Structure 1
Amino acid sequence: GTVVGMVMAFHEMAASGSNKIEMSVLAEGIYTAMMTTVVGLIVGIIAYVGYNHLVSITDKIVHMMEVNVVDFLDVLNEPV
């Protein structure tokens, strides 16, 4: 999206030739580029937070499993 917006802005500059370039035409392409960048950052931040949440849950489960394994091995190694 960012690249498309910038291509739109430069295409409009090239299409105008040597005529005067209107700011509203350029602003539309730059606006598209900036909005897609913002949306991409928001999606990326949400995905990063979600990933860290899942990693935290997984780490807790792995830790609980390790504790259970150690307890089980202690039971197996008790003298009879």
Structure 2
Amino acid sequence: MRAGVFKDGVYAEKTDYFGYHEETSVKITDTSLTGGLKPTISVNLEKDEFVSGDTVRISGKINNIYYYDNVSVKVNKT
């Protein structure tokens, strides 16, 4: 869920899907935005070195931004 969309609290959730009905509650705790801090990004790779033909899976997390902020990532060969 994107940061800043919901305030902290408990929300009712109701779902109807092709005759199936479900109701529950969801607790939202948003700790991603900290006032006065610069945005940060952390990037993780499966291993430290790759060879030609390897599949590279990149994952990461961006902290301290709003969901409507633009983010771009560029990968360069070194």
Q: Considering the TM-score relative to the shorter chain, is it more than 0.5? A: no
The structure with the largest strand share of the pair is 2
Greater helix share, structure number: 1
Highest Rg: 1 or 2?
Answer: 1
- TM-score by length of structure 1 reads 0.22
